[in-house]
Amino acid sequence: MSWSTSDIPDLTGRRALVTGATSGLGYETALELLRHGAEVTIAARNPEKSEQAAAKLKAATGKEPDVLALDLADLASVEDAAKSFSASQDSLDLLINNAGVMAPPFRQTVDGFELQLGTNHLGHFALTARLLPLLHKAKNPRVVTVSSFMHKTVNTVRQADLRAENGYAKWDAYGRSKLANLLFMSELDRRARAAGSNLVSVGSHPGYARTHLQSSGPQLGGANLEARLLAIGTNLVAQSAAAGAWPSLYAATTPGVPSGSYYGPSFFEFRGKPKLVHPSKAAQDPELAQRLWTWSAEATGVNAF
């Protein structure tokens, strides 16, 4: 595939919301959406970083994004963010569920869930459900959920994993959160089709990209040496955050992308131009996807479809 960001169509008049857009993949995604005419809201937890990112994006594109306070590890914050956004917008064309945490020591969300599944999956599940009325008001709404090739390191998600009731291993928990992202993407697609909705639900992953994500988890646990080693290795072999954002941008903006499809880098899903890729067998399990949806609706107190 010869795709590049110059192939992104004119997005004038379309409203996009990108989570985790203060740096890394989310920032690069917001940057290209703004460059191609979209009205963009960046949603993140840290107000100071959000304002800095907004100023940087305006300097680069001449367009100032809106800023939305959102802590995906706090379901009350998710509810407040959805209410605030809904009060200021008539519709939402594009939701990019990008934010995430990777391999921290055991932590819990405000609501008592394991931090990675709670943030990467449950927070985005609740946000999408609460924004669904605005998405349905758009002409061609689309939801992009960002996963990882690390979803292939695990073969299931259990209800007990939401609270790490059977123990915690940080990389397994990360893999489960990324598997949950794809299960959510596919079940959102299935439910949208069953309801007669024209909502498009697609997935993407960045391959191996240089972002702060690789070192932030170890730093959270005080493992500074591990964080430095990961940063060195990442800088040596990973592609840029801008290139890592290409699959998300392709999934978000390419006309005619099939709902339920999944995109990643072309070179062994490690780096390069975006292409259609295939999730693991577990990620394609419709019964597991339906069970996870039920557990997620019970855990968050919200539902979609």
Considering the candidates 174, 208, 262, 263, report the single residue annotated as catalytic: 174
Considering the candidates 147, 148, 216, 259, report the single residue annotated as catalytic: 147
Residue 177 carries which side chain, given as an amino acid letter?
S
CB atoms within 10 A of CB 137: 13
d(CA 96, CA 115): 20
Q: Are 35 and 27 a contacting pair, CB within 8 Å?
A: no
Residues present in the chain in total: 305
Considering the candidates 27, 177, 178, 296, report the single residue annotated as catalytic: 178
Q: Are 276 and 262 a contacting pair, CB within 8 Å?
A: yes
Strand partners, 263: 204, 276
42's enclosing H/E stretch is strand 39-44
In the DSSP assignment, the letter for residue 118 is: I
Strands 15-19 and 142-146: unpaired
In which residue are the tokens 């590049």 written? 4
147 is catalytic: yes
Q: Are 204 and 254 a contacting pair, CB within 8 Å?
A: no
In the DSSP assignment, the letter for residue 90 is: S
d(CA 214, CA 227): 7
250 is catalytic: no
Q: Which residues belong to the active site?
A: 147, 174, 178
